[in-house]
Chain A
Amino acid sequence: MHRLLRNRLNLPLDEVVRREGGAVLATLIRMTGDFDVAEDALQDAAITALETWPTTGVPVRPGAWLTTVARRKVLDRIRRDSARPRKETEAVALLAEASPEETSPSAVDDNVLRLVFTCCHPALSPEARLALTLRTVCGLTTAEIAAVFLVPETTMAQRITRAKRKIAIARIPYRVPADHELSDRVDTVLAVVHALYTAGHHAPSGDVVVRCDLADEAIRLARVLVRLLPDEPESAGLLALLLATDARRAARVDAEGEIVLLRDQDRSLWDHGAIDEAAALVEAALRRRRPGRFQLQAAIACLHSLAAHWSDTDWPQIAQLYAVLEQAEPTPVVRVNRAIAEAEVNGPGAGLDILDGLQGLERWHLFWATRGDFLRRLGRRAEAGEAYRKALGCPCNEADRRFLHRRLTELG
Chain B
Amino acid sequence: MPRYAALIYEPGDAARPPSAEEWEKVMAEYNEFTAKAGAAGVVGGGEALQPPSTATTVHVKGGARGGDVVTTDGPFAETKEVLGGFFLLDCKDLDEAMEWAAQIPGAWYGRVEVRPCIDFSETG
Contacts and interface: CB of A to CB of B under 8 A. Distances in A.
Specify the main secondary structure of chain A where it touches its partner: loop
A175 B96 CA distance: 12
Contacts of A87: 124
Nearest to B98: A123
Contacts of A125: 72-74
B75 interface: no
Given A128-B73, A170-B116, A172-B93, A165 B54 contact: yes
Interface in B13-32: none
Specify the main secondary structure of chain B where it touches its partner: mixed
Given A84-B124, A123-B71, A125-B73, A171 B54 contact: no
Given A83-B124, A84-B124, A165-B54, A171 B71 contact: no
Contacts of A162: 53
Interface in A229-252: none
B93 A166 contact: no
B89 to A, nearest CB: 12
Contacts of B71: 122-123
Contacts of B73: 123-125, 128, 166
A365 to B, nearest CB: 27
Interface in B52-80: 53-54, 56, 71-74
Contacts of B74: 125
A172 B97 CA distance: 10
Contacts of B114: 170
A181 B93 CA distance: 15
Interface in A199-232: none
A122 B116 CA distance: 16
A307 B37 CA distance: 77
Interface residues of A, number: 19
B10 interface: no
Nearest to A174: B93
B75 to A, nearest CB: 12
B81 to A, nearest CB: 19
Interface string A163-180: 001100111110101000
Nearest to B93: A173
Contact of B53 (A83, A166, A177, A181): A166
A124 B74 CA distance: 8
A345 to B, nearest CB: 32
B124 A169 contact: no
Given A171-B116, A173-B93, A166 B124 contact: no
A128 B56 CA distance: 13
Contacts of A83: 124
Interface in B36-59: 50, 53-54, 56
A83 B116 CA distance: 25
Contacts of B115: 170
A233 to B, nearest CB: 20
A389 B71 CA distance: 37
B114 to A, nearest CB: 8
Interface string B88-123: 000011110010000000000000001110000000
A258 to B, nearest CB: 39
A162 B50 CA distance: 13
Given A124-B73, A125-B74, A128-B73, A173 B53 contact: no
Contacts of A175: 95
B63 to A, nearest CB: 19
B22 to A, nearest CB: 22
Given A124-B73, A125-B74, A171 B93 contact: yes
A165 B98 CA distance: 18
A87 B122 CA distance: 11
**What are the 6 closest A-B residue pairs judged by CB atoms, nearest first?**
A125-B73, A173-B93, A122-B71, A123-B56, A171-B93, A84-B124
Given A170-B114, A171-B116, 18 more contacts: A123-B56, A123-B71, A123-B94, A125-B72, A165-B54, A166-B73, A169-B116, A170-B54, A170-B115, A170-B116, A171-B94, A172-B94, A172-B95, A173-B92, A173-B93, A173-B94, A173-B95, A177-B95
13 contacts: A87-B124, A122-B71, A123-B98, A128-B73, A166-B53, A166-B73, A170-B50, A170-B115, A173-B92, A173-B93, A173-B95, A175-B95, A181-B95
Interface of A: 83-84, 87, 122-125, 128, 162, 165-166, 169-173, 175, 177, 181
